[in-house]
Amino acid sequence: MDKPVEIRHGPYTIKAGILHGAATARAFVTGGKAGVVAQTTGDSLEEAIGTLKSDLDGRDAAERSHRRHDPALGFDVPTEKEYLQALQIVKPHDGHLRMLRAQALAGEKGLTAKELAFDAGYHDAAAANLQYGLVGREIAAAIGCGLPKTGIQGDLDLATGVLGSAGPARPDGQWPWVMHPELRAAVVGYVA
């Protein structure tokens, strides 16, 4: 009898074993709450796992084909589904989650770094910028996407482009970050 196997494949955890006499492989979003997202059977655990990996790769490629291209960032913006899956993996902590929710609620108006800092409970805009970049990197890693090619401040803010882009400058010269609509919808749908 084959021993149960558990492996990581991209954002998924694959669990395989003999179930009702058949070699069965099931995929779950790692750290997610979605339950089984895909399942296959085969003549052996290796075959079931291989088939499941191929199915997952095909499914993910199809999802990536629906990404919107943001020419200002040189970035293919992940889909709402990809962002939601990433949020389930990353599980943003209190400050990050407050920042994401505040920005999602701001809609197309966006929020400046100072406003994000206030809403998230950080001391200043520099702290908010740092944390915003950190959560951008975590989400990019969970999705498995690269960072945008360009940022407003050169290479300093590439990770923030995963979350949003700059809106028009305000009369006081401050420019707001406007969350990508795909992420905005995912944040609204995310239950911590």
The angle formed by the CA atoms of residues 175, 176 and 178, to the nearest 5 degrees, is: 140
Indicate the pairing of strand 5-9 with strand 22-29.
unpaired
Highest mean pLDDT among 91-95, 103-107, 138-142: 103-107
Distance set, CA 157 to CA 2, 101, 122, 154 (Å):
48, 20, 18, 7
pTM for the structure as a whole: 0.79
CA atoms within 13 A on the CB side of 46: 0
By C-alpha distance, which of 27, 32, 29 is closest to 6? 27
**Distance, CA of 149 to chain centre:** 18
The angle formed by the CA atoms of residues 158, 162 and 166, to the nearest 5 degrees, is: 75
Q: How far apart are CA 53 and CA 9, in angstroms?
A: 7
For the record, the structure tokens of 139 come out as 């989400």
Q: What is the mean pLDDT of residues 45-65?
A: 92
pLDDT band of 37, cuts 50, 70, 90: confident
The pLDDT value recorded for residue 175 is 87
- pLDDT over threshold 60, residue 1: no
The pLDDT value recorded for residue 140 is 93
> Lowest mean pLDDT: which of 86-90, 91-95, 149-153?
149-153
Q: What is the mean pLDDT of residues 121-129?
A: 90
> How many percent of the chain have pLDDT more than 90?
61
Indicate the pairing of strand 177-179 with strand 5-9.
unpaired
